[in-house]
Structure 1
Amino acid sequence: MYPLKKGKVPNQAHVGIPEGTFEEEHGRKGFFGKTAHLYHAHPPTGWIRFEGSLRPHKFDLNEAKPSDLTDPRGVPLPFLGNADVRLSVSRRPAPMPYYCRNADWDELWFVHRGQGTVETDFGPLPFERGDYLVIPRAVTYRMVPESTDNFFLLVESKGEFEQPEKGLIGQHALYDPGVIVVPEPAPQLDDNREWEVRILADGEYSSVFYPWNPIDVVGWKGDLTAWKINLRDIRPVMSHRAHLPPSVHTTFVTSGAVVCSFVPRPLEEDADALRVPFFHRNTDYDEFLFYHDGDFFSRDNIRAGMATLHPRGIHHGPHPKALANQRQKTHTDEYAVMLDGLNPIRVLEGGQAVEDPDYWRSWQG
Structure 2
Amino acid sequence: MAENFKASGVYTKQAHVKIPEGMFEEEHGRKGFFGRVSHLYHQNKPTDWTNIVGELRPHNLPPVFEEKSLQNNFVKMFYNTDVEVYLGTMTANFDSFFRNADFDELFFIHEGEGKIETIYGHIPFVKGDYIIIPRGTTYKTYISKPCKILKVESHSEFEEPTRGILGPNALYDQTAKFVPEAAVGSEQNLKEYHIDIKHRGKISRVTYPFNPLDVTGWKGSLYAWKLSIYDYCPINSHRYHIPPSGHTTFVAQNFVICSFVARPLEYTSEGVLKVPFFHSNIDYDEILFYHQGNFFSRDNIDAGAITYHPQGIHHGPHPKAFLKANENEFTDEYAVMIDARNPLNMTPEFEKLENKEYWKSWMLK
Provide the TM-score with structure 2 as the length reference. 0.96
1:339 is aligned to 338
Take 1:38 and 1:208, find their aligned partners in 2: how far apart are those partners?
A: 58
Aligned residue type for 2:39: H
2:275 is aligned to 276
1:92 is aligned, of 72, 80, 90, to 90
Secondary structure of the residue that 1:295 maps to in structure 2? coil
CA contact (8 A) 2:276 2:297 kept: yes
2:137 is aligned, of 131, 136, 139, to 139
Return the offset for 1:292: 0.3
Would you say 1:172 and 2:160 are equivalent positions? no
Return the offset for 1:302: 0.2
Take 2:185 and 2:229, find their aligned partners in 1: how far apart are those partners?
A: 30
Would you say 1:13 and 2:15 are equivalent positions? yes
Q: Could you list the runs of 4 or more consecutive aligned residues of structure 1 that deviate by over 4 angstroms after TM superposition?
A: none
Take 1:122 and 1:203, find their aligned partners in 2: how far apart are those partners?
A: 25
Secondary structure of the residue that 2:282 maps to in structure 1? coil
Tell me the alpha carbon deviations over residues 225-262 of structure 1, each in whole angstroms, 9 at most, x when there is no partner.
00000011111010110101011110000011100000
Greater Cα offset, 270-279 or 105-114: 270-279
Would you say 1:181 and 2:178 are equivalent positions? yes
1:310 is aligned to 309
Tell me the alpha carbon deviations over residues 115-171 of structure 1, each in whole angstroms, 9 at most, x when there is no partner.
010010111100000000000001011110102x21000000100000001111011
Aligned residue type for 1:273: V
Take 2:172 and 2:283, find their aligned partners in 1: how far apart are those partners?
A: 27
CA contact (8 A) 2:172 2:232 kept: yes
CA contact (8 A) 1:319 1:362 kept: yes
Q: Give the count of matched residue pairs.
A: 360
Aligned residue type for 1:136: P
Would you say 1:236 and 2:234 are equivalent positions? yes
CA contact (8 A) 2:65 2:148 kept: no
1:322 is aligned to 321
Which aligned pairs between 1:43-122 and structure 2 lie closer than 5 A?
A: 43-63=45-65, 65=67, 67=69, 69=71, 75-122=73-120
Return the offset for 1:64: 6.0
Take 1:176 and 1:356, find their aligned partners in 2: how far apart are those partners?
A: 39
Take 1:66 and 1:230, find their aligned partners in 2: how far apart are those partners?
A: 28
Take 1:335 and 1:211, find their aligned partners in 2: how far apart are those partners?
A: 44
Aligned residue type for 1:171: P
Unaligned runs of 5+ in 1: none
Q: Percent identity?
A: 49
1:266 is aligned, of 264, 267, 270, to 264
Aligned residue type for 1:173: A
Return the offset for 1:66: 6.4
2:39 is aligned to 37
2:358 is aligned to 359
Aligned-residue CA RMSD (Å): 1.3
Secondary structure of the residue that 1:361 maps to in structure 2? helix
Secondary structure of the residue that 1:118 maps to in structure 2? strand
2:214 is aligned to 216
Greater Cα offset, 334-343 or 181-190: 181-190
